[in-house]
Structure 1
């Protein structure tokens, strides 16, 4: 699980909030698989609405300019961002596993190597609503500031706890990575972060240039473009 702070800024948050304020919300179960639909109880923005398309564009621009997202996900294909709302009687999403393959509106297949949740509500504006990710016998939870995102493996069992007060708005989407293996992707991310630290401390040197070459040779070996 990787925390991506300030993926979108305050201006973008206000733009999205304005778009969602008068947007057409529908039953969230419409987009869920058979098992997930039994656990899902939220609302979802109609994906073909003008509000959804405008908000999608804002999120996509933010992803393109985020070095941390690009380094961690190594995206090959992206399922277009969608938006959900938890409040009132429609306030939770029980434990489930996402479908292995999602189909975009254009029929493009996206393998769900990674899932991403972008928080659009400040955590003090609602109670509950934690994203809980089950990793074997361990669990991790996320309830981050508005504008922050969390990236996690699409293979995990996860859930959104009941929202008992207020309203939780979020964007969610899936990524098919150029590097399918979680282990290889983690190694590349750790390598990249360590290399960036070395370059910031010591600048470019024969050693950092050689390590950069090693990183790209590993990516070349493992990537499917």
Structure 2
């Protein structure tokens, strides 16, 4: 249902922090004035936003683990957001569709990229409810968590320090989460065990992988 993966290098984390420190942030409700649950700040300088977004998108592009888990079709430009003492994002589910100029992105998966040390701030955990489970995350700098956008989740109140993250939303080629997770598991087994199989059987397994992707995925 979710995946934690290493995404950014130390140099990329440092560059995101540098951009954040040198840039102007505004009330996060600027993008949704009626959202009473939202109490954070987001980057509001186009050039800085483009630079940080491009850096993180390039990291997504080189991550094989990300591609195999998310089957990404579209990704929103990652947005730097920060939480200072007293700030939070109350329990919510992400919007189903996001407008990006002339394009629309369906939010199948949400992603949070952590950018500062979890010991540098108190509170601020990403709290996700998955069925009956309730899980909290404060990851290391450069690590990302990907989870279903239709889950109830929140950012708990920061009590000291500053929480700096980037957020993005992903439209998957396989919108159904059951099928997406099943194909991910099948691909992982093929990667781990494929070389030990008889060549003919491995070829048959690869045919199954390709056909499931062909018939389950959104058409290009």
TM-score normalised by the chain length of structure 1:
0.93
Q: Distance in 1 between matches of 2:212 and 2:201?
A: 17
Segments of structure 1 that go 5 or more residues without pairing to the other structure are: none
* Structure 1 segment 10-49 matched on structure 2, within 5 A: 10-32=10-32, 34=34, 37-46=35-44, 48-49=45-46
Task: Give secondary structure in 1 for the equivalent of 2:102.
Answer: coil
Determine which of 44, 49, 52 is the counterpart of 1:55: 52
Q: Is the 8 A contact 1:129 1:161 kept in 2?
A: yes
Matched, 1:115 2:84: no
Matched, 1:99 2:99: no
* Structure 1 segment 76-87 matched on structure 2, within 5 A: 76-87=73-84
Q: Distance in 2 between matches of 1:133 and 1:177?
A: 20
- C-alpha deviation, 1:33, in angstroms: 7.0
- C-alpha deviation, 1:126, in angstroms: 0.9
Segments of structure 2 that go 5 or more residues without pairing to the other structure are: none
Q: Distance in 2 between matches of 1:173 and 1:5?
A: 15
Q: Distance in 1 between matches of 2:190 and 2:134?
A: 30
Which string of whole-angstrom CA distances, capped at 9 and with x for unpartnered residues, describes residues 24-50 of structure 1?
10100122374xx1111110111x521
Match of 1:148 in 2: 143
Q: After TM superposition, which residue ranges in structure 1, 4 or more long, deviate above 4 angstroms?
A: none
Task: Give secondary structure in 1 for the equivalent of 2:56.
Answer: helix
Determine which of 183, 194, 219 is the counterpart of 2:213: 219
**How many aligned positions are there?**
219
- C-alpha deviation, 1:203, in angstroms: 7.2
Which string of whole-angstrom CA distances, capped at 9 and with x for unpartnered residues, describes residues 35-82 of structure 1?
xx1111110111x52111100011000000001110111111111111
C-alpha change, 1:203 and 1:169, in structure 2 (3 Å) is farther
